[in-house]
Amino acid sequence: MPNTGDSFITTLLQAHLEWGEHRHTNSRGIVIGEGYLQIPAEFAYKFEITNNSFLPRSAEYDCSTADNFLTGEKLLASGKQYRAEFAKQFQGSK
């Protein structure tokens, strides 16, 4: 389980920041303002960042960013890595 102070650095690309608009799929309509924060597999496993398929604990996490864009925000860990209980992204919890 992640602990206070655990951190990782990831590079956010246009597709992450504008996922609702900048995608190479037509599986659903455009969602203005939708984006996500990717979680590299190395850190999902190291910090045990799990998604909703891992029932013993919540997939909701308190998150802050180094630039203070997010401070103590509740984010939902979602998606899955190769090991299905580990999340691949953070998204808004509501």
Q: Is the pLDDT of residue 44 over 90?
A: yes
- pLDDT digits 0-9 by tens, 67-84: 898 898 899 998 888 888
3-state secondary structure 25-86: CCCCCCCCCCCCEECCHHHHHHCCCECCCCCCCCCEEEECCCCCCCCCEEEEEECCCCCCCE
Q: Is the pLDDT of residue 61 over 80?
A: yes
40, burial (CB in 10 Å: exposed 0-12, middle 13-18, buried 19+) = middle
What residue type is 24 in one-letter code? Answer: H
Our CA angle for 56, 39, 2, nearest 5°, is 45
User: What value does the mean pLDDT of the chain take?
Assistant: 83
Q: Is the pLDDT of residue 49 over 80?
A: yes
- Give the mean pLDDT of 32-53: 87
- pLDDT digits 0-9 by tens, 6-41: 999 888 887 777 776 666 667 777 767 677 789 999
Q: d(Cα 17, Cα 40) in Å, to the nearest integer?
A: 16
Percent of the chain predicted with pLDDT > 70: 88
pLDDT at 48: 92
Q: d(Cα 73, Cα 56) in Å, to the nearest integer?
A: 22
